[in-house]
Structure 1
């Protein structure tokens, strides 16, 4: 029987890696007629496509669901759903505000936020890592980065959760439920007002930096700035939230590696989680011309999924890829994409994960996950959990 893959299939979402293995070996250029897309699964092919923005375009977005796909995709994905020269301009201006210095200066505050999110959870001995910690923590970090006032952060957190969390009632199509659409509208309205306010009075935050970013006389428009802030909900909050849950789950499944992580190898824990079970499993592209690979011709205009989760398990690059191993070289990982669209927030995401896990490990000696009650997200491109009930053994 020929391999079958659909990003909307819940069974595949639960464990896509055996399916990826079959695709890599039997159908490296895979065609799904029902959902109308092609998929690339080998590391070399995906890495090459990520670099080739002329033939593999981002203008229709990163996800193939009708709610996200098409010429208006930049409403959700900002400059990530653009090609050069438009992408070059936008990314260049955003980079002037979203600097490594700004990220590093935020480190002490990130640690305070992590500690404050964790502290109330320790006394009871049980908590849900996702709903009680991993959802709140990156939301508050992004609010701190952007410059959202303290009084508004609970509202921003609530709207972000409405956008990010999915359940099986949302259906396999991945369409946004009404409450998520309403939350996006509310966030657009809020960020628009905040941008107007910050235009009158600058502060030491990302929003002020975006307003001041300039290349000669060229500046970001208010609408473009709001688009970047909306992008941060998914790129800056959801991926970090899912990364924390995947790290927690992977370490629980592998006690020897958990012991090494808890003994101080937090950076290796984060890096291997990003390789072993990355939050972003697939990135969509559009073929601008016919492309032939492995004897198969992909027609112009085709939708193509670049299966980064599969690339990170390609044995041509990673020895024994199904093993969670803190000693491995994760350098070739495609967890943050590649080429022109290599994730601009990579350093912030790594920093958040490292600090969050350091704070948890400093207070928790060991833990158990109630896996029977754990629940996964339902998403065509993201992988992780919405719920990870956990019982901890506190450090004495």
Structure 2
């Protein structure tokens, strides 16, 4: 076991607990990087101005730097610091916080979901992107295409992707740019969400705007799929939870803390600094174990217990500080509405098994029938 393999291990949490006992911020000789495992260390790293989301020498991964997917990647607010991060965020975040939960539920309920493994998988991965696309103003048919293209584009975000997937990601980036250009040029198709984003977007860089609208869709794809999927896995493992469940909101809220879809993230040290009593140098890499911090008893009481009505629930799943996910409330709303729709179909959860999708940081179950 190591901190990267842990993300897709059947049960990484005892290992994370062991790491916390060894120190909040410790150098891993095998991986040649620092590992932040405690809540205090994770909070300090995420808040530190010299801990950046990309290495200074490689703002865009070399594998995609020469293609359109790399151009989109380089403009994403979550992959930048300073103005290139702050400007898009200040335009997009306010609108996401104002989205009506009832509108989200209506968009989810309008989609056909079947209770078999294939139907649940489509609901996990494609459904959330369709909801985001519809909220931005795409028609249902266009939203389905945007969802399919997003599935291809997100391959550029994974170091595990092979060349054919990267080629498909470049092609998808080009087509997504075309769809968003058409949407922005059509005043009748734009939603109140998109109009608000455009009004707040002070930059004249239209490519920056489009890249971050694509980013909204890509963030909805994997992370929300994992949130829905891990909630289903939790119900499979604990059938009594479904009998006691009064609200899918509670289940999703606790699941994102207890078994998050994003297990870790990385930060790259840009200048000499000290964190948690450790001196760090430019070029150092820090693996930030969000899932471990969520189970730190100094952050949450009885952290290894799954408590639906947990008081004062605290979590790093959506990050914190300047790079905290701006779409947290939307993601939780989509996941809760989707889970509610799934459970209404009374699927045979005990007939399902799963394996985790290969990933260096994501915990996303792929469901199949036994």
Q: Structure 2 length normalisation: TM-score? A: 0.85
Moved more, 144-153 or 247-256: 144-153
CA distance in 2, matches of 1:223, 1:274: 32
After superposition, residues 199-348 of structure 1 pair within 5 angstroms as: 199-202=184-187, 203-205=189-191, 208-209=194-195, 212-214=198-200, 218-261=202-245, 264-293=246-275, 295-329=277-311, 331-348=313-330
* Contact map agreement 1:77 1:227 (CA 8 A) in 2: yes
| Residue 325 of structure 1, CA deviation | 1.9
Corresponding position: 1:112 with 2:114? no
CA distance in 1, matches of 2:60, 2:34: 11
Question: Partner residue of 1:178?
Answer: 163
Secondary structure of the equivalent of 2:315? Answer: coil
Question: Partner residue of 1:159?
Answer: 149
| Residue 104 of structure 1, CA deviation | 4.2
Residue 44 (structure 2) aligned to one of 41, 45, 48: 48
Corresponding position: 1:39 with 2:57? no
CA distance in 1, matches of 2:216, 2:76: 10
| CA spacing shift, 1:223–1:268, aligned 2, 3 Å | same
| Residue 388 of structure 1, CA deviation | 4.2
| Residue 12 of structure 1, CA deviation | 5.9
CA distance in 1, matches of 2:183, 2:145: 19
CA distance in 1, matches of 2:59, 2:261: 14
CA RMSD of aligned residues (A): 3.2
Moved more, 83-92 or 73-82: 73-82
| Residue 34 of structure 1, CA deviation | 4.2
After superposition, residues 115-194 of structure 1 pair within 5 angstroms as: 116-118=111-113, 121-122=114-115, 126-128=116-118, 130-163=120-153, 174-194=159-179
| Residue 375 of structure 1, CA deviation | 1.9
CA distance in 2, matches of 1:136, 1:129: 10
Provide Cα deviations, 1:303-344, integer angstroms capped at 9, x if missing partner. 111110000111222233222221323531111111111211
Question: Partner residue of 1:5?
Answer: 2
* Contact map agreement 1:212 1:219 (CA 8 A) in 2: no
Unaligned runs of 5+ in 2: none
Unaligned runs of 5+ in 1: 167-172, 391-396
CA distance in 2, matches of 1:184, 1:298: 35
* Contact map agreement 1:37 1:305 (CA 8 A) in 2: yes
Residue 364 (structure 2) aligned to one of 384, 389, 393: 384
Q: Structure 1 length normalisation: TM-score? A: 0.80
| Residue 196 of structure 1, CA deviation | 2.9
Q: What count of residue pairs does the alignment treat as equivalent? A: 363
* Contact map agreement 2:290 2:316 (CA 8 A) in 1: yes
CA distance in 2, matches of 1:273, 1:386: 17
CA distance in 2, matches of 1:150, 1:42: 43
CA distance in 2, matches of 1:192, 1:365: 37
* Contact map agreement 2:254 2:308 (CA 8 A) in 1: yes
Provide Cα deviations, 1:342-367, integer angstroms capped at 9, x if missing partner. 21111111111111122222231763
CA distance in 1, matches of 2:26, 2:92: 36
Moved more, 269-278 or 221-230: 221-230
| Residue 382 of structure 1, CA deviation | 1.0
* Contact map agreement 2:231 2:252 (CA 8 A) in 1: yes
* Contact map agreement 1:165 1:386 (CA 8 A) in 2: no
Provide Cα deviations, 1:370-393, integer angstroms capped at 9, x if missing partner. 33xx22111111112122438xxx
CA distance in 1, matches of 2:200, 2:242: 46
